Structure 1
Amino acid sequence: MVGVPLTTLPGTPGADAPVHFSLDTTDVDEARAFCRRMFYGPLRVDPVGDRSGFAFHGDVVALGSITVGEISYGSDIRVAIADLETSYHVLAPLTGVLRSRHRGTTVLADQTRAAVYRPVGDIDLDWPGSCRLLSVKVERAALERELDAALDQQIVSPLLLGDSFNLTEAPGRTWMALVQLFFGELLRGRGLATQPRMAGRWRDMVVSGLALTVEHPYGEEPHGMRGPNRPRTVKRTLDAMHAEPWRPFTATDLAGIAGVGVRVLQESFRQHVGMSPLTYLRRLRLDGVHAELSRSDPWQVNVSEVAYRWGFTHLGRFAGAYRARYGVPPSQTLRERR
């Protein structure tokens, strides 16, 4: 696997620095490990039938809250993914047809229709060797904040999104063209898209464009999709954690930001986010460490300094939590950059 920073990497968490990773392999285990590292840990890739034609190709660009990849396997495979938890996801075939099952709904995705995934519910994919697609991962909080801001109203978390959208009509056609242009420019390198400020704006356009493209019930009749609104207290707390994830927040600190008691905030988070505030903060920090280790030069940084920078002060507990989330120790993630 090759990981190529497209710009000079910044020294602080959250700064924009597009990074390109690529892999071509005929080894199923190597392809599986690449996809787990780029997208999700709880992911299975199993060839169907003859493996002789298996030839994985992956080009992936990671930029802050989004990850875009062009992926193909060369032979028929079956993919199983557990709950995405922290992300929304779109699969848009460039060739072939993908059969997708998610939350009781089957979608046939092709060049005319993209499949959309919420952060809850297992995903099963029948992926033929003829299918090459764009895989777009968007951080859960980023899309939810964008839709919340665009509509200026409280929304359900996770978002009540449709299972697919049309790619041949606006706005789906426009969003797909934007993603392809963004992805292509970053792969070619040396253009304006590789500059952090421009890349950050382009990333924001991808997120806001998706918020305006996917089907949702907000701003109109919910059609039976009603759910509890996410309180402003939860939103304020999420915004504070994403703005300064390395800050040593306590439960009392977060409750003070929200303007409610600790127990009230904890119950609100369990109801509307699915976990406690401090659990969410730990996952946010782990994702930040993982992203930084994945794109850093192992000769210039070490695991301890990255962990401290993201707010982890007990390295033993950090290492255990990291391994539980990603399936490998943090040092292995950094070594794979060599």
Structure 2
Amino acid sequence: MMPAGLPFESRPLLTTTAYDEYESILNRELNEKRTVTPTRVIKSRVRLTGFQMSRLKFFGADVGQEIRVRSTPLTSWHAIRPLRGAVECHFQGSQATVGELLLLAPGHEVDLTWHQSTQAVVFTLPPDILADYVKQYHNVDMPLIGPRGWHCGAECAGVGSMAQLHSLLSFEVNNNDGLLFSNTGAQQLRNLCCENLLQLMPILKEQPMAGPLPGVVKRALEYIHAHLEAPLDMAALLTACATSRRSLEQSFQRILQTSPARYHRLRRLEALRTLLQHHRPGDIQLADLAYRWGFSQPSHFTALYKQTFGELPSVTLGRSD
């Protein structure tokens, strides 16, 4: 068990005085390559806790001495919220202290100084999760955001919301039977994290989003995305939405300009395409994949895939080799 005071203490990753070990753990847990350089040669302890849920990652870090952290371009959104001390961002020329937050966009090359005895929560979220959330729940495309960062002060509502979320998570990870560890809880956690990030980005305030989707459409999307690996069960979908088929189809056509069935089919094919892009030819048998995802015939899957993406699934899989 980690000493008291560090978030997610029931999920220890490292306690050491060797900062090269800390660097190694960071490079194992995160996608980017990082270098960690103490500014002075003194013996001090560094602690790291953390866990992952639905591709979201949360860490608690406690550094004894001042360190400089640099990275290759980020592949995920990063939020750093100091609980003690300060984290300085050299790229922005800004510094976050207790009650503030640094938000770094994908593509940003990290160049940070963690001041002596700083403790912070670090949260990472893949950009595709945020983009999907914006599309599903705000009915717009995510604006193009370059490699930039923001310093969010205590006056920003999103900082307070993020602090409350981190406190809830720190409590829940000590109880594996907690609500957040259910499928529904994990989905709601993703949504809360995405909405908090949207509150933190000034660029999105300059480009206001559409209002939230109607409840019936929102419930339908939640059901569909939770059951992508199976053919659409329209009766179960209507039960989950507490509506009639005609009403649901009219709402989809008005809001999304498509039907529930077509929307479900496209999202399934997109999910399968992502899966193929992340595997090598020897890892997957396309016929087995088609059957596992509920296609009655592999040829039906192949035809729909080519119609949608203009190439055979075998071509997509071969390109990932």
TM norm structure 2: 0.61
Say whether 1:257 aligns with 2:248. Answer: no
What is the CA–CA distance in structure 1 between the aligned matches of 2:319 and 2:207, rounded to whole Å? 46
What is the CA–CA distance in structure 2 between the aligned matches of 1:167 and 1:312, rounded to whole Å? 49
Residue number among 92, 112, 124 corresponding to 2:81 in the alignment? 92
Partner of 1:295: none
Say whether 1:42 aligns with 2:33. Answer: yes
- SS where residue 73 of structure 2 aligns? coil
User: Which has the larger displacement, 22-31 or 62-71?
Assistant: 22-31
- SS where residue 51 of structure 1 aligns? coil
| 1:216 CA displacement | 2.0
Partner of 1:101: 90
What is the CA–CA distance in structure 2 between the aligned matches of 1:312 and 1:150, rounded to whole Å? 34
Is residue 160–residue 217 contact of structure 1 (8 Å, CA) maintained in 2? no
Is residue 45–residue 80 contact of structure 1 (8 Å, CA) maintained in 2? yes
Residue number among 99, 106, 121 corresponding to 1:112 in the alignment? 99
C-alpha distance 313-123 of structure 1, shift in aligned 2 (>3 A): closer
Is residue 74–residue 129 contact of structure 1 (8 Å, CA) maintained in 2? yes
Say whether 1:72 aligns with 2:62. Answer: yes
- SS where residue 143 of structure 1 aligns? helix
CA displacement 1:87-109 (0-9 Å, x = unmatched): 1111110111111133xx22211
What is the CA–CA distance in structure 1 between the aligned matches of 2:190 and 2:303, rounded to whole Å? 34
CA displacement 1:23-61 (0-9 Å, x = unmatched): 1111222211111112234111111112312x1111101
Structure-to-structure mapping, 1:19-30, within 5 angstroms: 20-30=11-21
Is residue 160–residue 216 contact of structure 1 (8 Å, CA) maintained in 2? no
Is residue 107–residue 146 contact of structure 2 (8 Å, CA) maintained in 1? no
Count of aligned pairs: 237
Partner of 1:133: 120
CA displacement 1:9-33 (0-9 Å, x = unmatched): xxxxxxxxxx945211112222111
Say whether 1:206 aligns with 2:228. Answer: no
User: Which has the larger displacement, 135-144 or 159-168?
Assistant: 159-168
| 1:256 CA displacement | 3.6
Partner of 2:158: 171
C-alpha distance 165-21 of structure 1, shift in aligned 2 (>3 A): same
TM norm structure 1: 0.59
| 1:168 CA displacement | 4.5
Residue number among 70, 73, 76 corresponding to 1:83 in the alignment? 73
Is residue 134–residue 141 contact of structure 2 (8 Å, CA) maintained in 1? no
Q: CA RMSD in A?
A: 4.0
Partner of 1:5: none
Is residue 59–residue 121 contact of structure 2 (8 Å, CA) maintained in 1? yes
Residue number among 235, 246, 255 corresponding to 2:275 in the alignment? 246
| 1:312 CA displacement | 9.4
| 1:205 CA displacement | 1.6
Is residue 105–residue 146 contact of structure 2 (8 Å, CA) maintained in 1? yes
Structure-to-structure mapping, 1:1-338, within 5 angstroms: 20-53=11-44, 55-85=45-75, 87-102=76-91, 105-158=92-145, 163-217=150-204, 220=207, 240-242=269-271, 245-247=274-276, 256-257=307-308
What is the CA–CA distance in structure 1 between the aligned matches of 2:267 and 2:146, rounded to whole Å? 15
Which amino acid in the other structure matches residue 178 of structure 1? L
| 1:178 CA displacement | 1.3
Is residue 50–residue 58 contact of structure 2 (8 Å, CA) maintained in 1? yes
CA displacement 1:180-206 (0-9 Å, x = unmatched): 212331145443333343233223322
| 1:123 CA displacement | 1.3
C-alpha distance 65-147 of structure 1, shift in aligned 2 (>3 A): same
Whose relative contact order is higher, 1 or 2, with alpha carbons under 8 Å and at least 6 apart?
Answer: 1
Which amino acid in the other structure matches residue 45 of structure 1? V
What is the CA–CA distance in structure 1 between the aligned matches of 2:273 and 2:191, rounded to whole Å? 19
| 1:207 CA displacement | 2.1
What is the CA–CA distance in structure 1 between the aligned matches of 2:89 and 2:182, rounded to whole Å? 36
Normalized per residue, the structure richer in helix is 2
Which amino acid in the other structure matches residue 82 of structure 2? P
- SS where residue 49 of structure 2 aligns? strand
What is the CA–CA distance in structure 1 between the aligned matches of 2:40 and 2:175, rounded to whole Å? 36
Which amino acid in the other structure matches residue 183 of structure 1? S
- SS where residue 171 of structure 1 aligns? helix
Q: Percent identity, aligned pairs only?
A: 16
Larger radius of gyration: 2
Is residue 179–residue 206 contact of structure 1 (8 Å, CA) maintained in 2? no
